Amino acid sequence: MTRKAERDNIKRSNLTDHRHIHYYIAAASTTGLAGIIHLALVVNAILHNVYTNTITLFLIGGIVQVFWIVPILKRWGRVWYSVGIAGTVVFIALWAITRMQGNPITHRASRVGPIDIATEVVQLAFIGLCIVILAIENRRIRKEIM
């Protein structure tokens, strides 16, 4: 069997295997929720005439997080899950850095509020779920190749 045929077989089995669908739904829900929270913060800032680089980051990041529902639910593959993890890690790192006194981004520590905590918990859940999905995908590929 050629590599392309193997990949096609794996893709077909991914779409018909529903044993682990709850992980995909949960991951899509967590990234979607994080994106909606970020977009809500953008709307709130606009309503208060606040336009900063942070708002631009939240707008772009929120749109990407909401979009990321599609590759998760359609099971586009390990590269997409890995990029989703990496992007979310960057988002969390930026948040953590801006909470430190004298940081290189804002030069002062921003406060930690309930929305911050909720957003970070949801994003950490997304990372954990994507790691589980990657493990499931790796196990499935190993089984199908053998």
Annotated domain spans of the chain? 21-145
pLDDT score for 14: 52
Buried b (16+ CB within 10 A) or exposed e, 91-130: bbeeeeebeeeeeeeeeeeeeeeeebeebbebbebbbebb
- pLDDT of 97-124, one tens digit each? 999 998 888 888 888 999 999 999 999 9
pLDDT tens-digit readout, 57-109: 999 999 999 999 999 999 999 999 999 999 999 999 999 999 999 888 888 88
End-to-end CA distance of the chain: 12
> C-alpha distances in angstroms, 29 versus 24, 42, 47, 108?
8, 20, 27, 33
pTM score, whole prediction: 0.84
